[in-house]
Structure 1
Amino acid sequence: MNQTTLSTVMLSSRKPLLALIIGILSIASSHALTYDIDPTHTNVRFAIDHFNTSTNTGGFYNLTGQLDYDPAAKTGNISLVIPLNSLNTGNTAFDITLKSADFFDIEQFPLAQFESTKWYFETDGSVSNVSKVDGMLTLHGKTNPITLTATKFNCYPNPILKKSVCGGDFITTIDRTKWGISKYTLLGMTKKVELNIQIEAVK
């Protein structure tokens, strides 16, 4: 067997191995990276009209959870755990009222949860941006679908943590009566609640 023939045989024998290695690397590169929710930069804030006069606002803090994100594959997943006892409106008496059985009933339902089911992306030139996220919100013992609209979403190398961080801002409006929170709706208080959700997660 001459040198040319030997080289051809060796190259042919390596092709399946090279294909396997390339396939493995391709699969590995398409896997979403996992990020842990940063409780100091993640919160859920709400606003609800108060009998067509002012707007009541407040928020929930110290959220935990996980973010999986792969911009190349246009996939993502997020799970959030919201401790309802962290509710803060800036008014202690109002906080107590909202935590009571008339509203969130945190004694019976101390946590709320959100689990995404589908991510949507919009392409701007060569860049794909997160546009909205569908998911299931569990609150007050009930689970219903909601859609979060992204007002921004980005990943960057955090110079302080020296780690990759991904996050963004999302908005949605929910009907609180779907979760069994209907206090004062018969007296004219709106059932619509606006939610503003800020999320940051660290790799």
Structure 2
Amino acid sequence: MLKTTTTMALLLLATTALADEYTIDPAHANARFAIDHFGTSTNHGGFYNLTGTVKYDAAAQTGFVDITIPVSSLNSGNSRFDTHLKSADLFNAAEYPVMRFVSKQWHFADGKVSRVDGFLTLLGQTRPLSLTATKFNCYQSPILQKPVCGGDFETTLDRTQWGMNYLVNMGMSKNVKLNIQIEAAKK
């Protein structure tokens, strides 16, 4: 099994090594979340100034993404709520200042990115996560004068899988809708 896993990892690295490399633009990247609040309303918030790398080869239908999400950038529009979200009850920003998503495999349908499977590290725990691509495109940026690729991705995750159990036993939802938007410019 280890030999097979190692061989597959090397094949993936070799394939994405030929892909064009892009740098995520923090001004055009964010991760927003929505969670039901005891069946009454939906709490929203987001993380901004995401950084990282994208490797993408449309012809070979391969890709790779490594996104760093700074927990300190969390913004719900309410500073008091942000302070609680960053506390040890939830995101524990003091001990875990970043979240990270690293892809394992990109899926394509009709030549377009349809899903990205990978791993999300949150609260020091790494678990599998699949992101559905609702939009993905590349274009020649008239401002940057270089190719830019990016898209919108979404999923619903069970926060308790990462040990974020705050108020679940009191009836607060464990399911969180996550939307990630990135744009990345070719290096």
Q: TM-score, normalised by structure 1?
A: 0.83
CA distance in 2, matches of 1:157, 1:71: 15
Larger radius of gyration: 1
TM-fit CA distance, 1:168:
0.3
The reply on whether 1:57 has 2:40 as its aligned counterpart is no
Q: What are the Cα deviations for residues 63-82 of structure 1, in whole angstroms up to 9, with x where unaligned?
A: 11000000100100000011
Q: Which has the higher helix share?
A: 1
Deviations 1:116-139 (A, max 9, x none): 00000011xxxx100000000000
CA–CA distance in 2 between the matches of 1:184 and 1:113?
Answer: 24
State TM-score, norm by structure 2.
0.90
2:170 aligned with 1:187? yes
Q: Structure 2: give runs of 5+ residues left out of the alignment.
A: 1-13
CA offsets per residue over residues 130-171 of structure 1, 9 Å max, x none?
000000000001000000000010000001111100000000
Distance in 2 separating the partners of 1:130 and 1:141: 29
Structure 1 position 145 matched with structure 2 position 132: no
Is 1:122 the counterpart of 2:122 in the alignment? Answer: no
Match of 1:78 among 41, 62, 65: 65
- Matching of residues 144-163 of structure 1 within 5 Å: 144-163=127-146
**Partner of residue 29, structure 2:** 42
The letter for the 1-side match of 2:99 is: A
Task: Give the match's secondary structure for 1:85.
Answer: helix
Give the length in aligned residue pairs.
Answer: 171
Q: How far off its partner does 1:31 sit?
A: 2.0
Q: Which runs of 4+ in 1 moved over 6 A?
A: none
Gaps of at least 5 residues in structure 1 are 1-26
Deviations 1:49-88 (A, max 9, x none): 0000100000000111000000100100000011000000
RMSD: 1.1
Q: Match for residue 53 of structure 2?
A: 66
Q: How far apart in 2 are the matches of 1:49 and 1:189?
A: 7
Same amino acid, percent of matched pairs:
59
Residues 1:105 and 2:75 are matched in the alignment = no
